Structure 1
Amino acid sequence: MQAFLYTTGVRSNNGQLIRREVGRLVVKNAYPRPVSFYAAGAYGDFSIHRLPLAGYKAGLHIASKEIDAQAQIGQFLRTTRKMKAQWTRAQVQANPNTAIRSQKTGRPLDKWTAAHWQQITWRLGYTTIFDLLGRLRISQTSREIERYVEADIDFRLFHASLLNIVSYLNGVHETYVAKALGLERYRRLVAELPVHLQAGFVEDRLRTRVEPVLAPTPPTAPAIAAEGQQFRLAA
């Protein structure tokens, strides 16, 4: 993600700034549709975009239908944005220079109205898939992964799904980088990676994802026939 943003002129290691910039790109449709959903709005008035079924009640079982998947993602977006809003409020109120104060006492307000929440909405940016993934990291301030350790879930499936999502997003970013550098230059960059990174997932994504997008080969007759058969079966 940082390499991708570097090609757009954003050169920073600040996690919040990076997530905010990527959020803007998600909203601008820079990402493929499967990961272009997002939440916006002030606390108590969140809106979910590009997930038309997100308003349905989410179940606790593994999603088997589109409505279940969108409902669960929508719930995840709302809870994540709620947590982000509450954390931002705590940061704002803890700073004497930014705290919203009572007009009567001059002290930082303990209770906020909708108007007060509106004042900090700009600080939240957009809530995207990257915020959802961010909740799985482990740090001094983020221990949510412990809830998953205690939960009754299929850890192998959870891990495999997470790897697929991360690999998919990396493939998107790497394709953008390759387009910015030029495919031949990107190929040289991959070939010159440190030994422990060679003949691995980066090279595999170059072959299976980046090159087919930037240098697609004409389909053969058998491939065209197979694609037609798949289309008929899907229909």
Structure 2
Amino acid sequence: MASRHRILVIDDDPHIGALLQDYLGRYDFQVTHVARGHEGVECLQKELMHLVVLDIRLPDEDGFALLKSIRQRWDIPVIMLTGLQEETDRVVGLELGADDYLTKPFSPRELLARIRAVLRRSGKPVRSRGRIYHFESHRLDVDKRTVTLADGKTLKLTASEFRLLKIFLDSPGRLFDRETLLELCHPYGEEVYDRSIDVQILRLRRKLEQDPAHPQLIVTERGAGYRFAADVEKVEASHPQ
């Protein structure tokens, strides 16, 4: 089984760090987020990383100097984050050895595509994992996006239902508020109304729960949000893309 690719994100914005940990984690990347340049260097000294996502505009350190130091000390790809209008930053960063760049604000989906492309170019092939989730007597096949129930019946999930269920299965027991679920399910800036999560959860309950009126899997914490209450077992089988 191939090890997960480890991504180091150096960015002082905690929102970006949390979003990338959740989003990239759903695609089997292990993300470490630090807010300061020296913390990034310490992390690289202690742990094996496969790629760095670096915000050039760090509040405590010259991002270009940090980029140059990383390229001199480690053979590791770097994707830099820059401001929308800062063309000079992009040119200088590429000249200093950055492998790619992305302007803020950015789509997590585009960053994922760039990470995969950079890793392929660097000779570190990205591997996909055929993951199976077992919960209660059900089975979710990630590749097929199907749920097999205890009675053997197979259900097809819509794209939104699949994303939502996988978020819960990746973090069983975690309490999610509605705003967080909306952001994780729709990270590309789609306009959705704030009750759409409630509708999707209702649909999932109708498909998965023995008694949707009294759910035991996706439970409501009144005034706080939702959490997945069942135990989850993950089984992975890696294969090259």
Asked if Structure 1 and Structure 2 have the same fold, meaning a TM-score greater than 0.5 normalized by the shorter chain, the answer is no
- Richer in strand (by share): 2
**TM-score scaled by structure 1?**
0.25
- Please identify the structure whose Cα radius of gyration is greater: 1
